[in-house]
Amino acid sequence: MTVPRAGAVSRGQGHGLRRDLALLEALASPEAQRAGGLGVVRLAQLTGREKSQVSRALKALAEEGVVERDPDTLEYRLGWRLFSLVARTAQDRLVRAAEPVMHALSEDLEETSHLCVLRDREVLTLLSVSGHSFRVAGWEGRGVPAHCTSAGRVLLLDASPDELYVRFPLLENSFPLSEVHTLPQLWARIQECRREGYALVREEFEVGLCGVSAPVRDFRGRVVAALNVSAPVSRFGHRLDDAGRVTAAAAAKVSAQLGWETTTRPPATPPT
pLDDT confidence tier of residue 169, bands split at 50, 70 and 90: confident
CA–CA distance, 119 with 127 (Å, rounded to integer): 15
Taking the CB of residue 187, how many other CB atoms lie within 10 A of it? Answer: 21
Q: pLDDT for 101-152, tens place per residue?
A: 999 999 999 999 999 998 888 888 888 888 654 444 455 556 788 888 999 9
Beta strand extents in 113-249 (DSSP E only): 113-119, 122-129, 143-145, 199-202, 209-217, 223-232
pTM: 0.64
What per-residue confidence (pLDDT) applies to 60?
93
Q: What is the pLDDT of residues 28-38, one digit of tens each?
A: 888 887 888 99
- Within 10 A of 176 (CB to CB), how many other CB atoms are there? 7
**Separation between Cα atoms, residue 269 and residue 272, nearest integer Å:** 9
| Burial annotation 117-135 (CB, 10 A radius, 16+ → b, else e) | bbeebbbbbbbbbbbeeee
Burial 58-85 (b: 16+ CB within 10 A, else e): beebeeeebbbbeeeeebbbbbeebeee
Q: Which domains does the chain have, with CATH numbers?
A: 6-78 (1.10.10.10), 87-257 (3.30.450.40)
3-state secondary structure 258-272: CCCCCCCCCCCCCCC
| Identity of the residue numbered 149 | T
What is the percent of the chain where pLDDT is above 90?
A: 47
The overall average pLDDT reported for the chain is: 83
pLDDT, position 15: 64
pLDDT over 80 (residue 170): no
Q: What is the pLDDT of residues 64-106, one digit of tens each?
A: 888 999 888 999 998 877 766 665 666 788 888 999 999 999 9
Tell me the C-alpha distance between 215 and 251, whole Å. 6
Q: What is the mean pLDDT of residues 55-70?
A: 91
Half-sphere exposure of 240 (CA within 13 A, CB side): 20
As a residue count, the chain comes to 272
